[in-house]
Amino acid sequence: MRVYETTFILNPQTDDATLDKQVESVASLITSNGGKILAENRMGTRRLAYPIRKLNQGYYTTLIYEAPPDFPPKLDRMFRLEEEFLRHLTILFEGDLKKILSKQEQEEPESKPKAETKEAPAESEAAPEKAETTAPEPQAEEPVKTEETEPPAVEEPKTETAEATAPKEEPATPEIEEQYKPVDEDDVL
Amino acid sequence: MKRRKFCYFCENRIVTPDYKDERILRRFVNERGKIIPRRISGNCAAHQRKLTNAIKRARIMAIMAFESESFR
Ligand SMILES: [Zn+2]
């Protein structure tokens, strides 16, 4: 058994129930082939960097799971047969497995992460311990900016919660791109 | 462009850049979407290799654009 990470993009022009069913079909293929799901992360609908099949947005989901080494080719075949998958990529999981597992334990009590990701990820998930909840206007730009100005925090164990609530699950908007530019240039180059 | 002395990923103790983390990857491409060479970014060889791989994966998954004049 090895740990894999598969991300796939679904056509978002469908209802939530259908998306759920499609994600579920991938998950059940994993379990029916002797695999075990370790984490499911729905980034939700985000802007595609270039159009795929004339679509400008895609619904992103990442599954982290254990599976036998002959499984990825089977999964690949399924993705190619089913047309709702715009793109898919399976890699060996390279992240911190402990982090993933503990994060999932924290998330389990709060029932449905998916609805939150679609509507207002920053606000609802930040609720328990983040100051941002006090902000009167739920402006999408604000949390993004804060994050961007303190990138060193990303891998610090202390800020694990901050990472979990990171607004990367937000649907990307054109404005966000503009904002990064100044920060990028002074900060890094 | 100013040179950076240190590898961003070593400094931030990031072992492997995540191809899904566009916020970090986009720091290492120019306005056309080309990968910035490590002599300018300051990344160490090992991390630059991993970064290049992550950016290429991100392009496949439409998280980042391929090189083009109309990027951004
Ligand atoms: Zn390095």
pLDDT per residue as tens digits for the range B40-70: 999 999 999 999 999 999 999 999 999 876 5
Gap from CA of B41 to ligand 1 centroid (Å): 11
The two three-digit tokens of residue A38, written as one number = 């370790």
| Residue A99 confidence class, pLDDT cut points 50, 70, 90 | confident
Which carries the bigger pLDDT value, residue A17 or residue A137? A17
Query: DSSP assignment, residue B65?
Result: P
Which residues in chain B touch residue A154, judged by CB atoms under 8 angstroms apart? 12, 14, 24
Is the pLDDT score of A140 beyond 80?
A: no
* pTM value > 0.80: no
Residue B29 lies in a domain: yes
Which residues in chain A touch residue B20, judged by CB atoms under 8 angstroms apart? 7, 43, 60, 62, 168
Query: Region A5-13: what's the mean pLDDT?
Result: 97
Closest CA to A61 of A97, A99, A119, A21: A21
Is the pLDDT score of A115 beyond 90?
A: no
**Structural domain count, chain B:** 1
Picking from A91, A151, A177, the nearest residue to B24 by CB comes out as A151
Contacts of B47 (CB under 8 A, 6+ apart): B7, B8, B9, B10, B14, B17
Q: Compare all CA atoms of chain B with the CA of A90 and give the residue at the minimum distance.
A: B57
User: What is the DSSP track for B31-48?
Assistant: TTSPBPPHHHH---HHHH
Interatomic CA distance for residues A33 and A53, integer angstroms:
30
Residue B45 lies in a domain: yes
Range(s) of the domain holding residue B42:
8-65
Q: Is A157 on the interface with B (CB under 8 A)?
A: no
Supply angle C-alpha B9, A147, A4, rounded to 5: 55
pLDDT at position A98 is 80
Q: Is B65 on the interface with A (CB under 8 A)?
A: yes
Residue B21 lies in a domain: yes
Residue B3 lies in a domain: no
pLDDT at position B5 is 76
Per the DSSP assignment, residues forming a β-bridge with A87 are: A9
Is the pLDDT score of A54 beyond 70?
A: yes
Which residues in chain A touch residue B18, judged by CB atoms under 8 angstroms apart? 95
pLDDT at position A4 is 97
The pLDDT mean for chain B works out to 91
Is the pLDDT score of A14 beyond 60?
A: yes
Share of chain A above pLDDT 90, in %: 49
Contacts of A163 (CB under 8 A, 6+ apart): A153, A154
Residue B71 lies in a domain: no
Query: Region A22-34: what's the mean pLDDT?
Result: 97
Range from A65-74, A88-97, B3-12 carrying the lowest mean pLDDT: B3-12
Give the mutation candidate from A54, A62, A92, A154 for the B interface (greatest B CB count, under 10 A).
A154
Is the pLDDT score of B6 beyond 80?
A: yes
Q: Is A171 on the interface with B (CB under 8 A)?
A: no
pLDDT at position B69 is 67
Residue B59 lies in a domain: yes
Residue B48 lies in a domain: yes
The two three-digit tokens of residue A20, written as one number = 């759920």
Query: Region B34-40: what's the mean pLDDT?
Result: 95
CATH number of B50's domain:
4.10.640.10
Q: DSSP 3-state assignment of A131?
A: helix
Q: Could you give all domains of chain A from N- to C-terminal order, each with its CATH number?
A: 2-95 (3.30.70.60), 98-175 (no CATH)
The pLDDT mean for chain A works out to 70
Contact call for B14 and A181, based on CB within 8 A: no
Query: Region A134-159: what's the mean pLDDT?
Result: 38
Interatomic CA distance for residues B29 and A168, integer angstroms:
19
Query: Region A44-69: what's the mean pLDDT?
Result: 97
Residue B17 lies in a domain: yes
Is the pLDDT score of B37 beyond 90?
A: yes
